Amino acid sequence: AQTVTQSQPEMSVQEAETVTLSCTYDTSESDYYLFWYKQPPSRQMILVIRQEAYKQQNATENRFSVNFQKAAKSFSLKISDSQLGDAAMYFCAYRSATRDDKIIFGKGTRLHILP
Partner 1 sequence: GAVVSQHPSRVICKSGTSVKIECRSLDFQATTMFWYRQFPKQSLMLMATSNEGSKATYEQGVEKDKFLINHASLTLSTLTVTSAHPEDSSFYICSAPAGGGGSRIYTGELFFGEGSRLTVL
Distance in Å, CB of 78 to partner 1, minimum: 20
Q: Alpha-carbon distance 47 to 93, whole Å? A: 10
Distance in Å, CB of 43 to partner 1, minimum: 5
Closest to partner 1 by CB, 16 vs 112, is: 112
Per-position b or e across 20-59, b if 16+ CB within 10 A of its CB: ebbbbbebeeeebbbbbbbeeeeeeeeebbebebeeeeeb
Closest to partner 1 by CB, 6 vs 82, is: 6
Q: Which residues bind partner 1 (CB under 8 A)?
A: 33, 35, 42-45, 47, 50, 52, 91, 95, 97, 99-100, 102-108, 110
Closest to partner 1 by CB, 16 vs 47, is: 47
Distance in Å, CB of 37 to partner 1, minimum: 8
Report the first-to-last Cα separation within the chain, whole angstroms: 41
- At 86 the three-state DSSP class reads helix
Q: Alpha-carbon distance 113 to 110, whole Å? A: 10
Distance in Å, CB of 60 to partner 1, minimum: 16
Closest to partner 1 by CB, 16 vs 97, is: 97
